[in-house]
């Protein structure tokens, strides 16, 4: 049984490392849909935990390495996964959203009959990384109130930019996907 458990945990560490490599590759080559494959191992892990599938406990070193790997996966893969989901949400709307130079998105505005490009939600990429890191840390430490404060601060900080339906929609979808992904990875660390 010890050999089977060791093989199982070694395979789990390899899957986490491969998923992290896929996430980094999808960011590097701007192919966010590629990162969606990283959802499968996290979903399988969560399903195993939900159905109480019995596996031997890992050694302390394997648990620490796996936890760090899952935390990295939660922080890093959240970016391309969120981008892929936002692209899916924009599908069929005729919206052409382009990335801005400062981590935001370029929005075509025509309020008073003039057209201009405006970068909104600046720093969104960096904020996403930080928010996922905070969510994972809060869940692992058992302080969920930190997540509530994070959501409140993010909403208040972006309030002035949420003046159009398109921006609000992207903000809500992006935040929910990012938080859900970080929460799923953190849940795997805890269980």
Residue pLDDT, tens place only, 58-89: 999 999 999 999 999 999 999 999 999 988 98
The number of angstroms, rounded, from the C-alpha of 47 to the middle of its chain's C-alpha atoms is 19
**Which of 34-48, 110-124, 134-148 is the least confident region?**
110-124
Q: Is the pTM of this model over 0.85?
A: yes
Cβ-contact 8, 56 below 8 angstroms:
yes
- What tokens appear for 162 in the block? 């949420």
Q: CB-based contacts of 79: which residues, under 8 Å, 6+ apart?
A: 23, 27, 125, 128, 129
């Amino acid at each position: 049984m010890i050999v089977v458990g060791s093989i199982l945990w070694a395979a789990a560490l390899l899957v986490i490392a491969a998923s992290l490599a896929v996430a980094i590759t999808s960011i590097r080559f701007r192919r966010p849909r590629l990162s969606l494959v990283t959802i499968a191992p996290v979903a399988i892990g969560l399903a195993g935990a939900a159905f109480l599938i019995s596996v031997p406990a890992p050694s302390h070193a394997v648990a620490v390495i796996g936890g760090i790997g899952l935390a990295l996966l939660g922080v890093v893969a959240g970016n391309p996964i969120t981008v892929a989901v936002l692209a899916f949400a924009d599908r069929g709307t005729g919206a052409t959203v382009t990335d801005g130079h400062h981590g935001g998105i370029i929005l075509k505005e025509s309020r008073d009959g003039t057209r201009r490009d405006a970068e909104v939600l600046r720093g969104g990429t960096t904020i996403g990384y930080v928010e996922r890191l905070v969510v994972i840390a809060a869940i692992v430490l058992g302080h969920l109130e930190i997540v509530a404060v994070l959501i409140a601060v993010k909403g208040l900080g972006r309030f002035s930019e949420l003046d159009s339906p398109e921006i609000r929609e992207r903000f809500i979808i992006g935040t929910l996907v990012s938080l859900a992904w970080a929460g799923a990875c953190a849940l795997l660390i805890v269980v």
